Structure 1
Amino acid sequence: MRLYLLALNPTDSVTEGFLPAAARLGLDVTLLTDSPDAHRAAHAAPAAPPEAAGCEILPCDVRDFREVVALIGRHRAPDAVFTNSDHLQTQAALAAGYFGLPAKDWRATLRTKNKAELRRCLAAAGLDRVRALELAPGQDPAVLDPPFPCVVKPREGVASEDVALVADAAGLAARCAEIRTRRPHDALVVEEFLDGTLHTLETLGDGTRRHVLGGFRTRLSPPPHFVEEALEFVPELPAPVLDQVLARLDALGVGLGACHTEFVLRPDGSTSLIEVNYRAIGDQCDLMLARLLGIPYFEHVLRVHLGQPLPAELGARTGMFGQNRAVCADRAGTLTAAPPAQEHRGGGVHLVYRPVRAVGEYHEHHRTNRDYLGLVWAVGTDRAAVDGAVGDFLAANRWEIAP
């Protein structure tokens, strides 16, 4: 059976998660990407699993579903078309649907990617009425009347990039002008600031049955930016909170495959969605989640895209704790020292560290997830031991940046 996997830049989710899972399922993988050399380099890296080396890689303009369909049509017959990229969900859904394969509803993938459309859909359903305004490319933000403080962000952005809190009209104008120096053709969303604790919900569905896998309590950098610095596993949410979030996913049409939902939990128990990423959580958290739950998570995701139903019970283990921490650059410069990729087991804890930036690379300071130097996570049955292992690793290693 042949799996077509659409990707942009290499990610750990694909290289360490989905490609080994595809090999374990006996699938032949053809990876379609606009960055073939980058994927070849990632598959040859020391930390890459051996299964990645056997992946066929073909160059393709994967942002254009017509090119995806054309390439698949002249290559080999597909059994599944899949992507874990935020940017390619609609393209994968349309291509899979063209070939009569299991596919996400392309309208749901568009709603979840387009943050303005997400707000409109939820408001029309009478759910989660967050005041949000859309700003077209080149449009003057002075025409808006947003509630201050408010958050401005790209309508179809990801990973805290160009997301900022602004206090007044002057700040909004300045921030919009700054974002447009990098994204002159992108629409923006300006919406009310949602105060509360940031959480995620991780779900997995086959179009009929949906499993709730738990989620993460997220710590952010101080405002005005929103960099995710630490995530702590939360196995269960209160039933009223869970019901609110799942009702909104139903309204959006989310049903097939993995979904990573970010929401704010207020002290009174009410919730509001921040965004819905219709794919697996990234930044090593999906790998950590599979280890926490003790289930073949990546295989389950691929199976539903092959048309196979999920079991009634996943058999996930309980009583586990997990923490994921990002090492962030605090300034621009060249990374001159950092630990290599590594794993350790001991004292009932499994700890993993993966570099994000290579030693010798120069980067500007973005104040986004692009500032990650590395990611460390640990899981175990004792919270203190897990937290201690992560803290000890961070204290024992050095990340040095030279101007």
Structure 2
Amino acid sequence: MSVPVLLLEAAGPESGQLARTAAACGHRVHAVTDAATLDSYPGALRQLLAGCLVTDFARPDQALKDITGYGRRIGAKALLTVNEYLTDLAARACAALGLSGNDPERAAAARNKALMAAAFEAGHVFTPSTTIVANRRQLRAAAGAVGFPCIVKPADGAGSAGVTAVTRLEELEQAWQAARQAQVMYGLPRDERVLVQECVRGREFSVESFTQHGVVTHLCITRKHTTGGSHRVELGHALPAQLPAAAQSALLDQASRAITAVGVRNGAAHTELVLSPDGRCTVLEIGARLGAGHIGVLLQHALGLDPWRTLWDIALGSPTTIAPTTPGYATVRFLTAPHAGRLVCVTGLPAVTTTVPSVRMRTATGADVGPATSNRGRLGHVIVTGHDPRAVDDRADQILRQITITVDPGKGT
């Protein structure tokens, strides 16, 4: 049955896939965005939209009024977002429209890391020791309380922007500045507070989950490839992770606690965790959305799931069965610049095949680039799929070794 649905922001890979899926199901897709972002919508996206509301996300209360008013006028039957910055607004809009969504009273805790830390403590979630800093004067005392190394991050950041691993006192000031200068989308009101957290050592994972009417289904555990050093940028994802039963149980238990703590009741959740050598599982943070970085595409290739269709079914309140249909494996690896400068060329990219289904550069030749200090520094990606995890990972490593990224250090930033 064709129904009108609302999508808070249609720009971006995951949002675009949600829009295309809804349109393919016959639904009338209405996007909500701001004036600046609307100008970047490609023609193909504009053509599949039944309508578009332009609002000012920088004024959340007014945006909520605009969205609820528009939603009532079109008779919206569902509202979704996969945009990190809009999950709180989406929960409040769903509540106002009487649609399936998350707890509006707790939704901000899935966005703001300071609120998240408090929600995790109340929900008995294992988390790093955290001190919230309101000004520079409190910084040294906070780092002293947490100890070195420590992680300094903005309260309202996303995509690893403004996150720094600090190993000694002299690095605190620069980390503070990076956290305070991290950009937020849409000119949203800033939370100027900064978190100083214990640096938990171990392997990094994420748990991908769907919840409907408060019932949680964990789809899989994702292994994360990250950089070391001062900036912990995600260089790849692989799923489903192959882990002993006890480790899987620990990760899924903590993910369930985190999901409950921030009020995810209908929709996706992406929970990031560390598994320490002693088996202790620590939740770093959670997003009330599908995992970014092509995790949705990996779910399709590895498990035979259609996360986009499932998300719309949940938002529409339709019964849905969430279960893998294929026993596969998939990984994405991201390309980054070796140093700052102007991107001259990228050679050695593989051809697209059935086992290498996606090869894409998102940064054009001639663009200014720099070493990735956040997930926004990725230049492109390669996805590899198959049935044997070791063979897939080996193939992905081989492809990366064959790719050469040439950057002229005398140009650019």
User: What's 2:165 paired with?
Assistant: 165
Q: SS at 1:272's partner residue? A: strand
RMSD, aligned α-carbons: 2.7
Instruction: Please state if 1:2 is matched with 2:1.
Output: no
Task: Kindly provide the amino acid, as one letter, of the partner of residue 28 in structure 1.
Answer: R
**Counterpart for residue 187 of structure 2:** none
Match of 1:210 in 2: 216
Partner of 1:61: 56
Q: Secondary structure at the match of 1:212?
A: strand
Match of 1:11 in 2: 12
Counterpart for residue 320 of structure 1: 328
Residue 345 in structure 1 maps to residue 359 in structure 2: no
Cα offset for 1:152?
0.3
User: What amino acid is aligned across from residue 56 of structure 2 in structure 1?
Assistant: D
Which residue of 2 is the match for residue 264 of structure 1? 274
Give the one of 259, 274, 277 matched to 1:249: 259
Identity of aligned residues (%): 23
Instruction: Return the letter of the residue paired with 1:156.
Output: D
Aligned to 1:115: 113
- The Cα shift of 1:397 comes to 4.2
Amino acid at match of 1:287: V
In structure 1, which of residues 236, 239, 242 is the aligned counterpart of residue 249 of structure 2? 239
Q: How does 1:70-219 map to 2 (within 5 A)?
A: 70-74=66-70, 76-128=74-126, 130-136=128-134, 140-144=138-142, 145-149=144-148, 150-181=150-181, 186-219=192-225
Q: Take 1:379 and 1:38, find their aligned partners in 2: how far apart are those partners?
A: 35
Give the corresponding residue for 2:186. Answer: none
Q: Deviations over 1:14-61 (max 9, x none)?
A: 12x2122112221111111124345423xx4xxxxx677412444221
**Counterpart position of 1:336:** 344
My pick for the range that moved more, 196-205 or 63-72, is 63-72
Q: Deviations over 1:139-196 (max 9, x none)?
A: 5413434322211000111111111111233322332134435569621111111111
Give the conservation status (yes or no) of the 8 Å contact 1:137–1:185. Answer: no
- For 2:224 and 2:9, the matched residues in 1 are separated by 26
Q: Which moved more, 1:356-365 or 1:218-227?
A: 356-365
- Residues 201 and 214 of structure 1 are in contact (CA less than 8 Å); yes or no, is this contact kept in structure 2? yes
Secondary structure of 1:399's partner? strand
* Count of residues paired in the alignment: 390
| 1:47 paired residue number | none
CA contact (8 A) 1:20 1:52 kept: no
Does the 8 Å contact 1:60/1:68 carry over to 2?
no
TM-score (structure 1 length as normaliser): 0.87
1:307 and 1:132 mapped to 2: Cα distance? Answer: 37
8 Å CA contact 1:342–1:353 kept in 2: the answer is: yes
Equivalent in the alignment of 1:379: 385
Deviations 1:290-324 (A, max 9, x none): 2211122111011111122322xx34134312111
SS of the aligned residue for 1:273 comes to strand
Structure 1's 216 and 57: CA in aligned 2 closer, same or farther, altered over 3 A? same
CA distance in 1 between partners of 2:394 and 2:167 (Å): 38
Moved more, 381-390 or 177-186: 177-186
User: Which residue in 2 is equivalent to 1:368?
Assistant: 374
Report the Cα distance in structure 2 between the residues aligned to 1:65 and 1:360, rounded to whole angstroms: 41
Per the normalisation by structure 2, the TM-score is 0.85
